[in-house]
């Protein structure tokens, strides 16, 4: 589930359907799309990068796909090394991060549509992430938690050629 704009949120299901709801008129979905089950099934994570781009993580495609909400077309795929996805985080500007069964956080530059780095520390599947401070344009601050029962605070300098990190574990 993810918030898509001020009054709307989206929900992804195991049958590869994404439905959109307006919080002011709960009940039936206001829009929906279904992704061809031969391309992906079992939506395990969902986020919104821009007004018309949904970021969908799945178990069977072993990564993240970008789907245009209007055309319902898959725009791009990012691999998670053959592993499923548990969580996706976007800053709605430039960065998309996703984590899952490969114990790493993948950092994607959405302007260039390229993976810029991997954050490696956890020894278990990544369960969730949150941005800690979005006010500094030069450093991305992130917290992640994992099946290894660690919470890691990351400070990621964004001016570097590739994403690197400093971390604290608690």
pLDDT tens, residue by residue, 19-54: 889 999 888 999 888 877 666 667 888 887 766 677
Query: pLDDT higher for 168 or 118?
Result: 118
Q: pLDDT band for position 161 (50/70/90)? A: very low
Angle at alpha carbon of residue 44, lines to 59 and 127, rounded to 5°: 100
Q: pLDDT band for position 68 (50/70/90)? A: confident
Angle at alpha carbon of residue 84, lines to 81 and 90, rounded to 5°: 90
pLDDT at 150: 94
Q: For 2-11, 57-66, 97-106, 126-135, which range has the lowest pLDDT when averaged over its residues?
A: 57-66
Average pLDDT taken over every residue of the chain: 81
Q: Which two tokens stand for residue 31?
A: 């829009």
Q: Which residues pair with 45 in a beta bridge?
A: 57
pLDDT digits (tens, 9 = 90+) for 111-139: 888 888 899 999 999 999 988 877 777 78
Of 58, 52, 48, nearest to 15 (Cα)? 58
Is pLDDT of 100 > 60? yes
Q: pLDDT band for position 160 (50/70/90)? A: very low
Percent of the chain whose pLDDT exceeds 70? 85
Percent of the chain whose pLDDT exceeds 90? 18
HSE (CB half, 13 Å, CA atoms) of 167? 17
pTM, two decimal places: 0.77
């Amino acid at each position: 589930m993810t918030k898509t704009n001020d009054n709307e949120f989206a929900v992804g299901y195991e049958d590869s359907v994404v439905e959109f709801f307006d919080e002011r008129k709960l009940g039936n979905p206001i829009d929906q799309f279904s992704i061809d089950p031969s391309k992906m099934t079992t939506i395990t994570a969902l986020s919104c990068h821009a007004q018309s781009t949904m970021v969908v993580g799945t178990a069977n495609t072993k990564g993240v796909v970008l789907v245009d909400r209007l055309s319902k077309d898959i725009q791009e795929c990012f691999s998670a090394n053959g592993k499923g996805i548990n969580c996706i985080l976007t800053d709605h500007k430039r960065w998309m991060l996703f984590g899952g069964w490969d114990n790493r956080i993948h950092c994607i530059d959405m302007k260039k549509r390229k993976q810029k780095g991997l954050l490696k520390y956890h020894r278990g599947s990544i369960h969730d992430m949150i941005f800690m401070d979005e006010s500094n344009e030069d450093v991305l601050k992130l917290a992640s938690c994992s099946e290894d029962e660690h919470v890691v605070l990351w400070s990621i300098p964004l001016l570097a050629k590739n994403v690197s990190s400093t971390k604290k574990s608690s």
